[in-house]
Amino acid sequence: MRKILPVFFAIWLACSFSIAQTKVVFPLKTSPNKRHLVDQNNNPFLYVSDSGWRLFMGLTETEAREYLLKRKEQGFNTIHVMLTSIPGDKNKQGQEPFVEYDFVKPNEAYFKHVDRIVSLADSLNMLLAIAPLWYSCCNDGWATSPQKYMQKNGKEKSYLLGQFVGNRYKKFNNILWIIGGDNDPYDNLEEVRQMARGLKQADPQHLITYHAAASHSSTDVWPANESWLDISMTYTYFRGFTKAWNKVQPDVYEVGYNEYRKSPVRPFVLGESTYEGEHGTLGSDLQVRKQAYWAMLSGAGGHSYGSPFWKVDASWKSYLDLPGAKSLKHLAELFQTFDWTALEPDIAGALIAKGNEKYATNDFATAAITRDHKVAVIYVPSARGITVNTGILDGRLLIPSWYNPRTGEKRGSDPYPIGYKMLFESPDKNDWVLVLRVDESAKKK
């Protein structure tokens, strides 16, 4: 095959960055085809989230501004955050969200602090995906602690809490709601449902999702006709990951493919997966890139990143410049160079003839093709040759390029004729993205 030469496209990257920085007109809504999120002007919103779960608890307003500005600079447009954290947790002013853990006795001083940070994020044109009441995977949440606060408060107070939260925050446009939190709802199904219904009744303009247990999505644990559930959120680690309570953890693309095929169709985002800097070598920058690209190429409307920052403890600043976090902006930059909302995951494996490696492993190459068959994208997690069925693309000439997901470097080549199986060798031992574009200037005969 012809040698692919390294070329830096400064203008191309500058243009893509300017597109990515277009002001978002919140609140978000679902696209007409229910595959992704859009703003009020119907501009696509590629959901790129950081897990800042204890943001309201762990930072002052000044510190919150520093954090949000940093993440915005790095290309994040969304922050995941717990509204009320877990029972007994206090913010830096020593305030708790409720008086005596009673859902109908909110602490006004605490919520005023939250108000100011929500307003700050709004001024920065950033979305806050807020969990009103964290269920928890462990024995420390509002539903899982030994005191069983959700059960004690009951269905009526859970509904009233949803109404309180909805009424208080419906004036802010930059919000998406996350019900649940790291667990399935079954032990408190009606309390959770009533809280969600109260929230939706008071605040119908904001989208709602559900954060389930690892390996489950929102639509795995709620009926298809659940009226308040607007979008789905997937959550998994990868096969071989042994740290989760559920030892069978499918890879991100497996969960994505499954979600994409469900009916009725709902947009979905990867809400959580392996955090960078946790679990030793499992939490590498490579792993977080795999998760992000796997999500986007399996039909997701966005992805989420995590690191030990989520605890927002005294060392929070040390986690803001991890290599994975800094590299994820290049995904958004790449996807803004074509109509990413037209991508359809190649679940059948028609594009890659050889080299995608074994399915249901942590080294699988995923691919997606735009509906018009003019652009194909393949994420290659490790060094290999990829044989592509170019005849799937609609055109006469193909312009291939390798995109470095760590740096944003693009390596292009001369056009190739379409209609053959072609071998592409990744440039080095690292992960790369193979982008195949039809040369629109060459008319198909």
Q: What average pLDDT does this structure show over 164-169? A: 99
Which pLDDT score, from 0 to 100, does residue 443 have? 64
Residue 420's CB is within 10 A of a number of other CB atoms, namely: 11
Reported confidence tier of residue 4, pLDDT bands at 50, 70, 90:
very low
> Is it the case that residue 22 has pLDDT exceeding 70?
yes
Residue 292 burial class via C-beta count within 10 angstroms: exposed 0-12, middle 13-18, buried 19 and up:
buried
Which pLDDT score, from 0 to 100, does residue 445 have? 52
Q: What is the rounded distance in angstroms from the CA atom of residue 375 to the CA atom of residue 320? A: 34
Task: Give every CB contact of residue 45 below 8 A, 6+ residues apart in sequence.
Answer: 24, 28, 36, 37, 38, 39, 77, 127, 301, 302
Amino acid type, 79: I
In Å, how far are 157, 414, 431 from 370, measured between CA atoms? 47, 22, 22
Which pLDDT score, from 0 to 100, does residue 157 have? 99
Please name the helix (run of DSSP H) or strand (run of DSSP E) that holds residue 352, with its range, or none: strand 352-354
In Å, how far are 182, 291, 292, 363 from 287, measured between CA atoms? 20, 6, 9, 10
Q: What is the rounded distance in angstroms from the CA atom of residue 99 to the CA atom of residue 108? A: 10
**Is residue 212 within 8 Å of 244, Cβ to Cβ?**
no
The mean-pLDDT minimum among 38-52, 138-152, 235-249, 267-281 falls in 235-249
Reported confidence tier of residue 8, pLDDT bands at 50, 70, 90:
very low
The torsion region of residue 252 among left (phi > 0), alpha (psi -120 to 50) and beta comes to alpha
> Is it the case that residue 3 has pLDDT exceeding 50?
no
Which pLDDT score, from 0 to 100, does residue 444 have? 56
Equal CATH topology for 16-335 and 346-438? no
List pLDDT tens digits, range 51-74. 999 999 999 999 999 999 999 999
Which pLDDT score, from 0 to 100, does residue 36 have? 99
Q: What percent of the chain clears pLDDT 90, i.e. is strictly above it?
A: 90
Q: What average pLDDT does this structure show over 253-257? A: 99
CATH class of the structural domain 346-438: mainly beta
Q: pTM for the complete prediction?
A: 0.94
Question: Is 7 or 297 the better-scoring residue by pLDDT?
Answer: 297
Which pLDDT score, from 0 to 100, does residue 21 have? 61
C-beta contacts of 234-239 below 8 A and 24+ residues apart: 234/259, 234/268, 234/269, 234/270, 234/271, 234/295, 234/300, 235/182, 235/211, 235/270, 235/271, 235/272, 235/273, 236/273, 237/273, 237/274, 238/273, 238/274, 238/287, 238/290, 238/362, 239/360, 239/361, 239/362
What are the residue ranges spanned by the domains of the chain?
A: 16-335, 346-438
Task: Give every CB contact of residue 242 below 8 A, 6+ residues apart in sequence.
Answer: none
List pLDDT tens digits, range 266-278. 999 999 999 999 9
The mean-pLDDT minimum among 112-116, 238-242, 331-335 falls in 238-242
Which pLDDT score, from 0 to 100, does residue 241 have? 87
For CA atoms 316, 322, 325, 330, give the dihedral sign: positive
Which pLDDT score, from 0 to 100, does residue 67 have? 99
User: In 3-state terms, what secondary structure has residue 435?
Assistant: strand
Reported confidence tier of residue 376, pLDDT bands at 50, 70, 90:
very high
Half-sphere exposure (Cβ direction) of 300: Cα atoms closer than 13 Å: 29
List pLDDT tens digits, range 387-416. 999 999 999 999 999 999 999 999 998 899
Which pLDDT score, from 0 to 100, does residue 11 have? 36
User: Homologous superfamily of 16-335 in CATH?
Assistant: Glycosidases (3.20.20.80)
